[in-house]
Structure 1
Amino acid sequence: MTAVHMLSIEWLLLYAALGVLVGFMAGLLGVGGGGILVPLLASLFAYQEIGTGHTVHLALGTALTCMIITSAVSTWAHNARGAVEWRVVGGMTLGIIVGACAATHIAAKVNMAYMALFFAFFVGLVAVQIFIRWQPKPSNKPMRHHTLISVGMSIGAIA
């Protein structure tokens, strides 16, 4: 398909509608939009022959870019209500950066089929967690700095 066809008004409207649908479903189900957006984007990209052989990577990157924008707006709104624990954010930032860089470097070398399987497995784990209503035990003890960095690395790697 030509680049002009891929950027037609119909496709732009479809992607806009997809954004509304994903936002609604994520809010309704209480899950991150990436779990819904990535498979839908991968399917649309494959149909349009965008990123042939790399559709999952492209869908993940596109979804992450969308999440950066929505996360920034959400952070601003939560911060206005005093609902951001900046000490925790600061403690995890280094770990998030290291984890994200390492995972991105590895993901770039991984076959698309394995990426799709990993993504499906991770979404399945999240579904099981939601279904059995598992939650970590609450604690009033603040996390130590090295724990925050480790948690940040895990978040960065998974995201």
Structure 2
Amino acid sequence: MLAWHLVLELLLLGSCTGFLAGLLGVGGGMLLVPFITLLLTSKGFPSALVVKIAVATSLATICFTSISSVRAHQARGAVRWDIVRMLAPGIVVGSLLGAQVAKALPAALLAGLFAAFVSFSATQMLRGRKPRPSRQLPGAPGMLGVGSAIGTVSSLVGAGGAFMSVPFMSSCNVPIHTAVATSAAIGVPIALAGTLGYVIAGWSLQDLPPGTFGFIYLPALLVVSTTSVLTAPLGARAAHALDVRQLRRVFALMLYAIAGYMFWRAVQA
């Protein structure tokens, strides 16, 4: 049975990540992975497995968060379903592959990879470069390749893919609110395929802690997904009402601190 303070911590974590997923299109994984790692480490989870469990659990919660967020965005007609359809096949293949790669990686390397990805995402947020006016989305082969890359990296780091898909769509002159809304829809196949991949990857392991299903820690999935589903629509509504540029800069600075923690975890591992 979960301790009451762990339940409260997971409830707060789910509330914050759900709101940020809707507001900034970041999927929540950049917060979920380090904080779930921190919480489970304090509960004595094996250091060789805790980051992989955090990544897998983050992806599983994104299944629910993304669905909740995309419903709110779709109510405003902001989702480009044609982009989702072109990216989805590559995303599914890449997400399944990423889970198998993560299983084989040492814990230190996976933590370092996550820290590098968070640092890159924060830098992209701060730079805010404008796309070239003439640039457009690539054809079907290019979209397949982009989808595969987004799926693989997202599955490795437990994210919904917005850190890659939003800058990619923005660089192809897709309006930012449309890019954020579409990235929420793209997060659904990433999370579903990645979750399945981590269940398969951890299925045969005998030393996983109680409460896990494959690499997914079910108590954290239940608590975090319940609250994130409730707060993601609030963030999505705020995204259409606010200028989020200043918020993204503040969030980017927080990401650098998170990256520092995960680099420290990599060194400790």
Q: Same fold (TM over 0.5)?
A: yes
Partner of 2:40: 45
| CA deviation profile, 1:52-86 (whole Å, cap 9, x unmatched) | 42110011111111111110111122222221111
Partner of 2:114: 119
In structure 2, the residue corresponding to 1:108 is in which secondary structure?
Answer: helix
Residue 13 of structure 1 and its aligned partner are, at CA, apart by: 1.5
Report which stretch shifted further, 109-118 or 80-89: 80-89
1:82 alignment partner, one of 77, 83, 88: 77
* Percent identity over paired residues: 36
User: What are the equivalent positions in structure 2 for 1:8-157 lying under 5 Å apart?
Assistant: 8-24=3-19, 31-137=26-132, 139=134, 141-157=136-152
In structure 2, the residue corresponding to 1:84 is in which secondary structure?
Answer: coil
Would the aligned equivalents of 2:87 and 2:143 in 1 still touch at CA under 8 Å? yes
Report which stretch shifted further, 129-138 or 119-128: 129-138
State the one-letter code of the partner of 1:39.
Answer: P
Could you say what the CA RMSD is over the residues aligned between the two structures, in angstroms? 2.2
TM-score (norm 1): 0.85
- Could you tell me which runs of 5 or more consecutive residues in structure 1 were left unpaired when the two chains were aligned: none
Residue 124 of structure 1 and its aligned partner are, at CA, apart by: 0.7
CA distance in 2, matches of 1:150, 1:75: 24
CA distance in 2, matches of 1:93, 1:68: 15
CA distance in 2, matches of 1:101, 1:92: 15
Residue 30 of structure 1 and its aligned partner are, at CA, apart by: 6.5
Report which stretch shifted further, 40-49 or 23-32: 23-32
TM-score (norm 2): 0.52
C-alpha distance 150-50 of structure 1, shift in aligned 2 (>3 A):
same
| CA deviation profile, 1:86-140 (whole Å, cap 9, x unmatched) | 1111111110011111111111100010000000011111111122223543556
Would the aligned equivalents of 1:56 and 1:116 in 2 still touch at CA under 8 Å? yes
CA distance in 2, matches of 1:61, 1:138: 38
In structure 2, the residue corresponding to 1:143 is in which secondary structure?
Answer: coil
